Structure 1
């Protein structure tokens, strides 16, 4: 197959137009209250052979590109997730990603076999591909729903880790290795891949952070690129050792994102942009794979019934069993059950049996596609309402400060650029009332493009940019104090953590 310059020009033109339309669809989805992934899938269907004529049926290419996009989305999730907020819920998150997945697979498989009449191989595959939650959906939706940190931490940990065991399960079933090796071998393989993948992720994260803190790159734009490359080194290294690349990339990115690295805000913004591009390309590609002619009444019925089994039986039961590892109040467990968002991951996983030529793989793909669309329409827009009904929603708290850091190597210090968000309670606070740790000071205030050398009585305003110099040993304490004042205002010294709204 050749690819000439004219084809490249056409590809760039169509690709750019599709991306721009997809970006505008984000605004439209927010206006009408529907998840943007539905618009992306619809765009792919419209571009496909049945409508505008683009023919795309390469399941192996879709499999490879889908896994690459998922790895990038997981890397962004790790880089932008706070380990301090996730840590209290990590036991429940890991339990949901392992035990919960096993329970969900079993329940959906039994239901699909006895209620839908699918053969056991296809029924188990359906349970496996439907069980993992979607990292892109969770990371994007839950961050705008005001929830206690223990809930978002558990859901983010689950979505970041549950891809790994399901990929192994779907692969061994699709290749026939599960029938030959037995259940114990499959379980051992899953444990091995998760453990080794996580270990490689830890190694890449620790070594990568050590390197990034000591290297002086000639351009600030190279730091975000280097951090993402380190995360993908973990993915590639784990895959080369036949371990879980998904577990490795997420753990590595989580460690890198929670280290005191230069230009952290720029790194996260860069990763968010690339992850958004990956989501757009992924969903549009999956829409292209669909043939609308195959979506019959039978397929729609099977997809709806599968979604009902997953939503009202498999997911609640898997959450209940998983909560043994870390019990929570029933209201919070009920919300976690409802918030098991599905998205691209189930559809991407169906490309594995498609690429392996499993009998009935086309039917499986169509069922899962319908299930994802119906399930997303049911759960995504209703999450805020369900959170209020279950009384787990909390009032939106002041958003944290945007903090950008740059090293001052000669004096073993860091320069922090701090931006006061519109809702920050630091508005009206005097510089002297910040009470920063010893050695830290506000050296400059930038207000409406003008630079001010602050005094102790200088009053801070929304939109101000502060340049704060802090000794490296006091960096964490300085950031913590700034966030306390941003959340609690000048009363932060009496409120302790600066946040009157407790989880």
Structure 2
């Protein structure tokens, strides 16, 4: 396809999505299914108008998926309810650590004994497919900063953390393949890739988020208030935190998510403070002509909420482009029994079992456990890890094998989760309302 044809295709899709939001909201499937269907139609599976080669374009695709995941992680972080309570965060933390580890182990075992891959490749494949996706799972994630739904909070928080907690397993798989230094008996991997990279990533993110919250609050509360560009501040925070963290060999995805969480939590705490000292007189103009609260939102403005206005359209645009590319990467021959079996094992065995084990003893109700076990959506994050591995020297035959397996898992996740999300979530909320009524 020429550049003009690409502009035409994307433009038509954007117009259709922009003109039919009400119809799409009522439709029994998600928008990602439409993007995937269009990609399959114009790609090599049908009309063959274009083919995006992920092996040759791995550097470009890594950059595109990296940006998409970062924006989505930031959006997820600033929607986290406040105040922070460990009792509420315990469930997603267990999912992002214990359940993540179990999923990687189960997927690696399946890859070795069923697909015939070496252990290094099996662990790498498990790490690629284990994290749930913050980009494609918007229908089961927190919708706005005031959303208190426990299921959506759990899935959003898990997706925000496990895109970073999967990195140590990616590096372990690369190490076993001879593409990354893990040290004698794996000690370098444990000390650097697990403890240092994880702890430093979280610390950098928290410090940066708190610092920006205090700086923006101070500027807004000064005697001569400053008008701030919240969207630029949000993007700037993402760029600085991610850049610094990666330069220090820590996990940037974790840092960006926790920077957003810390920004949101700190801003809400600072918002409870009086805007000006009581002994500071109001300007004469303000006393003579008081400004209605509805026309002066600056006093309540926060970077976290203001930046969402810009981030959510970017999320939707990145979802459209990347899912369209997924369809353009797939051939009919890509649908091997091994790839489909891998996807079914992940959706029906590895994910539910890992969630059940990870949440043992937490007291999480069975309705939330079952829904969490099913809605482990795979997507853009998996594509990023795959491209990351290819850029680190993955041999071409193995890279082609992992590309085929990953693309089919992502495509099937878009289909099966995209079709089931609305009816199952509707049933979940109705049952919850019925239980409240009964009590």
TM-score by length of 2: 0.77
Question: Which residue is equivalent to 1:303?
Answer: 339
Structure 1: gaps of 5 or more residues: 1-6, 397-499
Q: What is residue 277 of structure 1 aligned with on the other side?
A: 317
Counterpart residue number, 1:238: 245
- Give deviations 1:172-225, integer Å, cap 9, x for gaps: 423622676544543431232121111001111111001111225998571222
CA distance in 1 between partners of 2:404 and 2:181 (Å):
24
2:48 matches 1:51: yes
Q: Relative contact order (alpha carbons < 8 A, sep ≥ 6): 1 or 2 greater?
A: 2
* Count of equivalent residues: 389
Which of 384, 408, 417 matches 1:379?
A: 417
Aligned residue in 1 for 2:160: 160
Per the alignment, residue 252 of structure 1 pairs with 259
Is 1:225 the counterpart of 2:259? The answer is no
**Counterpart residue number, 2:285:** none
- Gap change, CA 1:390 and 1:128, over 3 Å in 2: same
CA distance in 2, matches of 1:502, 1:272: 37
Residue equivalent to 2:364:
328
Q: Is the 8 A contact 1:85 1:153 kept in 2?
A: no
Over 3 Å counting, the alpha-carbon distance change for 1:153 and 1:193 in structure 2 is same
1:67 CA drift (Å): 0.9
TM-score (norm 1): 0.68
Q: Which residue of 1 aligns with 2:279?
A: none
State the distance in 1 between where 2:227 and 2:370 align: 44
Tell me whether 1:190 sits opposite 2:189 in the alignment: no
Alignment partner, residue 208 of structure 2: 204
1:364 to 398, 402, 422: 402
Task: Give me the whole-angstrom Cα distance separating, in 2, the residues matched to 1:87 and 1:269.
Answer: 29
Partners of 2:120 and 2:90 in 1: CA distance: 31
Per-residue CA distance 1:75-98 (angstroms, 9 max, x = gap):
111122323487542111111111
State the 1:390 CA deviation: 6.8
Larger strand fraction of residues: 1
Q: Deviation per CA, 1:260-316, whole angstroms, max 9, x where unpaired?
A: 47534443222212222232233234444x1415424xx2x2222112211222112
Q: 1:148 to 1:115 in 2, by over 3 A?
A: farther
Q: CA deviation at 1:160?
A: 0.2
Distance 1:346 1:268, change over 3 A: same
Residue of structure 2 equivalent to 1:74 = 73
Q: 2:348: which partner in 1?
A: 312
Match of 2:388 among 347, 352, 356: 352
Verify: 1:267 aligned to 2:262, yes or no. Answer: no
Q: CA RMSD in A?
A: 3.5
Shift of the alpha carbon at 1:372? 2.1
The structure where helix makes up a greater share of residues is: 2
Deviation by residue 1:3-42 (Cα, 9 ceiling, x = unmatched): xxxx988876665445445556866654432222232234
SS at match of 1:137: coil
In structure 2, the partner of 1:108 is 107
Larger Rg: 1
**Structure 2: distance between partners of 1:177 and 1:33:** 45
CA offset digits 1:409-433 (Å, max 9, x no partner): xxxxxxxxxxxxxxxxxxxxxxxxx
